[in-house]
Structures are given as C-alpha cells and as structure tokens.
Structure 1
Amino acid sequence: MFKKLTKCIVNQMDPSKEFVPVESIADNEHFRPLYLLKKKSKPKNLFHPAPYYQRTGFTLDHVLLPGGDGTSIESIHEDSSPFTLTKTCADQADGGLSISVDPANVELKGGASTSKEFSITPQKKSISLDSLEALRRERGINTEHSFIRQLRKTNIRLFVVTEILEASEEAVYKESTKANGGFKIKLYATFCAQSTREDKQSIVIPKGCTLAFRTIPIQIRDGAWDLDHFPAEAVRKAAYVADGPSQGNLGVVLTEVKYSCRIFPELSPDQLLIVLNTIKAVMGDNNLLQELSHKMEEISEQNDGYELKSESPELQALFSTLQHFPRGDLLLLAEGITYVLDALHELMEDQLLLLLESLERKIVSQQLKLVGNLLKHDLNKGKETFFVDAGLLFPHAEDQELTIALVELSGVQLQEDGSAVPTDQPFEAVAALFVALYALSLLSGSE
C-alpha cells in the first residue's frame, strides 16, 4: 500500500519523474538527505521507470574525515513550505469467473468495486549543490572506514540523497475492495465464498516519513570524492527492434524485453526448464523471490566471481546449473532473470496465482497476444473505451474470465465483447504483465 501511495504522489506532483518513490515504509528513514545509497546494477525499465536504489545504512558524514571545527553537516538542510495533496477515486466492475478445481467445480459471479482515499501534506527538504561542493573541498574520504574498503572490491555505484519529500503531518491512506460472490478476491476456490466480502486496508503515514527522494552520483577514488553532475546513461542496443514501426507502446516494450531476455533462446531445453521451474517456485513464495533477486544482483556486483548457494531446494537446482556457466553468459542470464523478477515484483499476489493457473491451462501465449494488443493503445490517455481484436478472446468461458481478471488487476477493465477501459493510467502495470507473460511463454516453449 505504501508503494502505491508514494508512486501516486510522484505522478501527481512530479510529471518529469525526477523524484524516486520510497517503496517500503520500514526503510523510509534510510532515504534522508545526505544518506548514501547503492544504485543496483540493473537499468531502469518501462514498468519501473525510477532507478533501483538500495540503502547502505551510512550517511556522507559517516565516511568523511572530521571537519576542522567539528560541526555536523546536518545543519546545511533547507526546508520548503508544505502543500496538501488529496485524492479520492472509485471504480466499479461486473463479471463472473468459473474455475475448475479438483475435486470441485466452483462458479463465481458478481461485481467488484475499489476505492482509494488519502490527504497528505508533503514538504521538501534539500541540500544545495553549492553546500555539497564546499563540503567536498573541506573534507576528504576516510579510506579506513570499513564500508569504503569493501566498496573498492565491487562495481557498486554510490549516490547521495540531496532532496526529499516528507510527510509534514501524520496522514492515513485507505483502500477498499468490495466483492460480491467472490469476484476479485483470491481467485482459487479454497479462498472464495458465495457471499459479499469487503476488504478494507489502511496505513498510517507518520510525521517526518520520507515519501520520495532525489540523488546525485558521487565518485570516490584515492581518498577524494567528487560529485558527478553529468552521469552517463546506459543505452539499449538498437539491434533488438520491434516487429514493425506501427507498434506504438508495444514496440517499445518489445524492444526492451527482447534485449533483456536475449540469453533465454540460447539455453538448452533442460536449462530452460530449470529456469522456468525456479520462476514458478518464486511466484508462489515472496521470500524465495526476494532471495533469488538478491543472489542475481550480487553476481554482477562482484568483480572476483560469486559462489551461489541456497538452503532452498527450489533455488539450488538453478544455482548448481549456473556454477558451470562462463562468466559472460552468467552475467547475461543473471540480467535476464533479474529483469523478469522485477516485472513479477510489480504484479499483485493474485496476478501471480492467476499466471500459475494460466501456465497449467497452457493459455499464456494467447494472453501475451491479448495484452500486447492492449499496449498498442494509449493506456494513460484517460478512461476512454477502446476495443481489442475480438479474435484474441478465448472460446472457453473459464479461460476468458480468468484472463479478464488478470488484466483488470493491472488497471484495465476488459469485457467479453472486447471493449476495454483503462481505470488509472495503467501503462506501467500492463507493461509488467506483458513482460511476465513474454518470459513465461519463452521459458515454457509456447511463444
């Protein structure tokens, strides 16, 4: 819920997306001005346009040599006047879902409504670049600090937080989902009931909580540090192009996913199966997903190689296989797996369950075509009805309703006649769903 709120705030007040939403309320205090962050080696992508950062637990003050007067650098903060953001929205959808579950066949029909509500007063706090430049001339890096010593052994890029949005007052974010007859709850029979259910969630945002932040790269070498005012951005290779110039947003997403997953077609059938089984395992266990993400990121961060081990048998089969890969291929495969895991992380838990069910039904490739058709339209244009190719809809009611539920959870209401209505600027969510379907289709050999 906190991630939804901070993304919404950034979308409302920062269309240029220079601020990065904080994704976990538990980590918000590690994204304060002057805190040092590690930028993960993976590049930004279409379904998560903000850079990926990880907290270090240290501030710039921690790793600098003492100043001449012993004054703390916390005093160079600058505050702006607070302002209030308020949003209330509600959506209504009707439909039904029929899922065959051994030993029972359960029919679910009804409607669903969702609502979101918040009023929050953010305030900017910042560190001027002039102040940082003066600090750079005055104080050098403590090369004996354990964090600095370990940093030399890695390819990790370091950033310092220069500006944040924080909650100047306590606020509450509320979200409600009301379902009749089991629609849009857990979509497996064991979690459904033939009744009305209302799921209400709320989260309290404490005063002083960091909501979003901006950074600048810093370079550390030979006991000195410098600000990188013109960082270079990674460029995607143009060789991986979409199938035709008229694909619109679909062509852009295809370019990215083909490039990021370019190692998969080179794997043997046995290797593809191992990767697929691992991906399926983490889709049903968030702890495994986090562990696999962490292990894949560490591969590219270590200069001297990395030994892969896990106490989870679901991951060990993959790790044992990767130990025999040449370094170049290992890096490409770690990049591809990380990209897929990032897409899965953007999806809801119910969507992951529906994707597993779709794999069992062998309808992933058809769903991929349907979601690709959605991406040909401007999903962030507003709540305007458009139509998808009717030939992409499923002849079997169970497959069709399962797919309608899957798409709706990404913010597009899709009806049986092929009409579709975006509910809340869902391009990023639909792009993440497309990437997940593309990877599952490729790994399962059904593309």
Structure 2
Amino acid sequence: MTMFENVTRSLTRQLNPRGDLTPLDSLIDFKRFHPFCLVLRKRKSTLFWGARYVRTDYTLLDVLEPGSSPSDPTDSGNFAFKNMLDARVEGQVDVPKTVKVTGTAGLSRSSTLEVQTLSVAPKALETLQKERKLGAECPFLKEMRDRGENLYVVMEVVETVQEVTLERAGKAEGVFSLPFFAPLGLQGSINHKEAVTIPKGCILAFRVRQLMVKGKNEWEIPHICNEDMQTFPRGEKPEEEKFALIQAADVGEAHEDFGTLKEEIHREIQEVEKLNHVGQRSLLTSLSKLLGKKKELQDLELTLEGALDKGHEVTLEALPKDVLISKEVMGAILYFLGALTELSEAQQKLLIKSMEKKILPVQLKLVESIMEQSFLQDKEGVFPLQPDLLSSLGEEELTFTEALVGLSGLEVQRSGPQYMWDPDTLPHLCALYAGLSFLQLLTKAP
C-alpha cells in the first residue's frame, strides 16, 4: 500500500473500528471528499471488506438551485497520534534460506498527526433542504439518473490540522531469489526510505449518507438507509427498474455471519463459471501478469467499470477475440477484482507463488476454517487451529501461507497450532477469502 493509504486505514481503525468511517486511499483526491461533495459507490461493492467510493466533480450545492450557502461544518473534536505505525500492513516476512524483509510505514519519529472531525450540522441541512430545490435540467443529475447510479453526500470528514510528513523505511537481507525481489540472485542487504508530506486540511477519512430524489426537484438525505434504497425513483421505465434492482443486489449485504459472506461469494463464483474454460484460463493469464502491480490491476477495474456503465461487451488482452464477457460475468469479475485490489502488492505476489505451488486449496480451507470459528468474535484472543490444516504444507509453502495471512493481520503460530484473532482484521480476511476463492476457481479450469 502507499504510505498515505497505510496511515488512513490505521487511523480509521483507531477512531472507528468496524464502523462506517471510510479511509481515503488517494492523496490526490482529497479535495473532492469535503463535506457536501457528491460521491459514487463502486459497482459490485460489498460491505464485507468495506464499501468503496469514487469522486465526482460535483457537490450537493452544485446541483441545487441558486441560493444562500449553508453554515460551515461544525468541529466535533481534535485527536493526536504520535509514531503511528501499521504493523499489520508492513511487517516482517521471513522466507527460509532466501530473504528476510522488515519494514514499517507511518509517521516520522518527530511528527504528530493532529486531526479534527468536521460534520454537517443537522440544522444547516434542514434549512438547506427547505430553501433550495434541485436545479432544473441539471446535466449531471440526468446522466446519473440514466445510468441508474446511487449518489452519496459526504457528511463528516477527518482532516489534518497541521502539515505532517510520513516516512517509510525498510530493509532486506539475504539472497534475493524470489521473483518479486530484484535483482535476481543479489546477495547482501538493501535499505529503502521514502517520505511524503500531507498538507494541512487534507481529508483522511469520511462518512457519507445517501441522497434521495423525490419527484422532479425535491430531495432529502435520510439518517437511515438500506441497500434497497435508490437515489432516483424506480419504475420510470421497465429497463431502468430492472437495472436498479440489479444494482441494489450488487452492493452486498451486512455483516451477519460467515454464511452470508459465503453465499455472496458463491453467487459471484456461479457467474464467473458461465465463462467457458478457455475464457477462464485466459482470464487467469491476464490476472497473473497484473497481480503485484496494484496500479495496473486498478486500471483494469476502471476499464471494466466503464464498459459496464455503458453496457458494452469487452474482451481482455489474453482472451480470444471470440470470447466475450457478458454484463453479468463482468460484474462478477469486478467483484473479485475489488477483493484483490484490497490486498497489498506483497500478498498479490504471494498468491502467484501459491498458484505455482498449487497450495491455494489448502490456504482457502485454512482461512475458511478460521473465519467459521471467529467471524463473530468481537474480542482479541488465541484460538486452536486444526492440525491437519497445516500438516500437508512443506516448510517453504508454510512460510508463504503464514506471510499471506499475516499481511492481513492474522498471526498463525505453528506451536499448538493456533492463531491470534484480532476483530479489526476481519475486512482484510474477507477480501483474502474472496480472492482465494476466485483464483482457485480459475486454476481448476482444464
């Protein structure tokens, strides 16, 4: 992960563990997540590893009739964090006889991260709703209505009080013989440092509420929403109603239990299975080239989302030209791409090694067994692990597996065997479980 993303996620876990505070993952976008900004939820989003939002170039005030501006967001309090490191993301990975990597990412030792929360006052929102209607013939709203999108309004943010510098420091020692350490065959040690400065007033995390359009120019932002609610009224045209129902099903379900997650993943797996074996193998070839390259993986996700928005059928680079991806299959692929992009680049590269070693089924069973036992555990603790889950793995394979789950925040201990459970790691493990399920399906294609 980038240093910025690393710290925003760590901050969110400390301020609002397992809550609805969403960390910002891109420093360049922070100005588009201020209070009253309009954002979109990514298609095929899920609440299991966190809803993901993308910016627009509009605010709520831009789509309303001209009028008085609302009062400034109110300050809900200040918080300070010093030497904040995220060991769950950047930690230590040992691969026997090959390489030892250590690293941390967070605030520089001399820095303190000071943040404040700003939120839209209920009274200001109520006044705005009474005085200003939706603007007539707003092109942006018309486009969103035609596409069946849901719009969300940023209602609360966490922002920096002062400029702060983030630093990343890492060290690798040994023989760099793994494909994701370069140059190959290098023996010795490498030190790496980098830094980024976050400006004052930078948004680090935010909360949203859904915008609801009533009639031609009435609107509201309800306090409580459910996944069936749509920004724009349904049923204006049969095809729009069908599209809205599909989208409502796409956004995922609440954290009920592990069975709910399994059912959600199973539905998406069934869609990918509609792609013939040639298509599945070609899809795996494409993904194998992109895993470990997070930017390229995200670019593929954006390409597919754009095609889905416009209703186009697309082909991937490795797919034969006569193998087309339907809208339903494309949506399922987007679902799993969302899970894979939640993983760190190191985890993605470890997945490639796991595919080469043919140990995905063992890793999938391991994660599944742990989550079946601990999904609803809301306290940290040590839990026993079935011995047969690790007994089939060799030393190197076991180390790969420990690193893969360890980078999601789950510490597996061979003695016992047992594992250390931290409920804050649940979203990361959900994404890992989905990614393992997806790749396991593709590797089974004859």
TM-score between the two structures when normalised by the length of structure 2: 0.79
* Displacement after TM superposition at 1:186 (Å): 6.9
Q: 1:278 maps to which residue?
A: 286
Q: 1:64 maps to which residue?
A: 64
Check 1:415–1:318 CA distance in 2 against 1; reply closer, same or farther (3 A cut). Answer: farther
* Displacement after TM superposition at 1:437 (Å): 1.3
Please state if 1:152 is matched with 2:156: no
- Deviations along 1:316-339, one digit per CA (max 9) or x if unpaired, are x3786335x4xxxx22x1232111
Q: 2:272 maps to which residue?
A: 264
Correspondent of 1:293 among 292, 301, 307: 301
Q: 1:180 maps to which residue?
A: 173
Please state if 1:400 is matched with 2:394: no
Amino acid at match of 1:350: A
**In 1: Cα distance, 2:308 partner to 2:130 partner:** 33
Q: 2:317 maps to which residue?
A: 313
Q: 2:79 maps to which residue?
A: 83
Q: 8 Å contact 1:388–1:420 — kept in the other structure?
A: no
Please state if 1:135 is matched with 2:128: yes
**In 1: Cα distance, 2:138 partner to 2:117 partner:** 31
Correspondent of 1:108 among 86, 98, 108: 98
**In 2: Cα distance, 1:403 partner to 1:210 partner:** 35
Q: 2:355 maps to which residue?
A: 359
Q: 2:244 maps to which residue?
A: none
Paired residues for 1:189-204 under 5 Å: 190-191=183-184, 193-204=186-197
Q: 8 Å contact 1:218–1:225 — kept in the other structure?
A: no
Q: 8 Å contact 1:275–1:318 — kept in the other structure?
A: no
Q: 8 Å contact 2:92–2:100 — kept in the other structure?
A: no
Q: 2:40 maps to which residue?
A: 38
**In 2: Cα distance, 1:267 partner to 1:149 partner:** 34
Q: 8 Å contact 1:127–1:163 — kept in the other structure?
A: yes
- Deviations along 1:197-247, one digit per CA (max 9) or x if unpaired, are 34444432211001111222113355413114142225979xx9xxxxxxx
More off after superposition, 131-140 vs 379-388: 379-388
Amino acid at match of 2:8: T
Amino acid at match of 2:52: Y
Q: 1:434 maps to which residue?
A: 433
Q: 8 Å contact 2:95–2:400 — kept in the other structure?
A: no
The CA RMSD over aligned residues, in Å, is: 3.5
Secondary structure of 1:58's partner?
A: strand
**In 2: Cα distance, 1:109 partner to 1:263 partner:** 40
Check 1:88–1:285 CA distance in 2 against 1; reply closer, same or farther (3 A cut). Answer: closer
Check 1:340–1:194 CA distance in 2 against 1; reply closer, same or farther (3 A cut). Answer: same
Q: 8 Å contact 2:293–2:345 — kept in the other structure?
A: no
Q: 1:220 maps to which residue?
A: 213
* Displacement after TM superposition at 1:3 (Å): 1.8
Q: 1:232 maps to which residue?
A: 226
Check 1:336–1:15 CA distance in 2 against 1; reply closer, same or farther (3 A cut). Answer: same
TM-score between the two structures when normalised by the length of structure 1: 0.79
Paired residues for 1:333-412 under 5 Å: 333-378=329-374, 381-382=379-380, 384=382, 386-412=384-410
* Displacement after TM superposition at 1:185 (Å): 9.0
Amino acid at match of 2:387: D
**In 1: Cα distance, 2:123 partner to 2:296 partner:** 44
Amino acid at match of 2:286: T
Check 1:419–1:95 CA distance in 2 against 1; reply closer, same or farther (3 A cut). Answer: farther
Check 1:374–1:148 CA distance in 2 against 1; reply closer, same or farther (3 A cut). Answer: same
- Deviations along 1:347-396, one digit per CA (max 9) or x if unpaired, are 11122122122222322212222333333454874474754524534443
Q: 8 Å contact 1:249–1:375 — kept in the other structure?
A: no
Structure 1, unaligned stretches of length 5 or more?
98-106, 241-247
Amino acid at match of 1:54: V
Amino acid at match of 1:306: H
Paired residues for 1:92-107 under 5 Å: 95-97=94-96, 107=97
**In 2: Cα distance, 1:16 partner to 1:397 partner:** 35
More off after superposition, 163-172 vs 263-272: 263-272
Percent sequence identity over matched residues? 27
Secondary structure of 1:261's partner?
A: helix
Check 1:187–1:294 CA distance in 2 against 1; reply closer, same or farther (3 A cut). Answer: closer
Check 1:319–1:414 CA distance in 2 against 1; reply closer, same or farther (3 A cut). Answer: farther
Q: 8 Å contact 1:65–1:139 — kept in the other structure?
A: yes
Amino acid at match of 1:108: T
Q: 8 Å contact 1:140–1:223 — kept in the other structure?
A: no
Q: 8 Å contact 2:212–2:221 — kept in the other structure?
A: yes
Q: 1:103 maps to which residue?
A: none
Q: 8 Å contact 2:158–2:205 — kept in the other structure?
A: yes
Q: 2:263 maps to which residue?
A: 255
**In 2: Cα distance, 1:366 partner to 1:339 partner:** 23
**In 2: Cα distance, 1:228 partner to 1:18 partner:** 16
**In 1: Cα distance, 2:347 partner to 2:338 partner:** 14
**In 2: Cα distance, 1:114 partner to 1:86 partner:** 14
Check 1:140–1:318 CA distance in 2 against 1; reply closer, same or farther (3 A cut). Answer: farther
**In 1: Cα distance, 2:94 partner to 2:184 partner:** 18
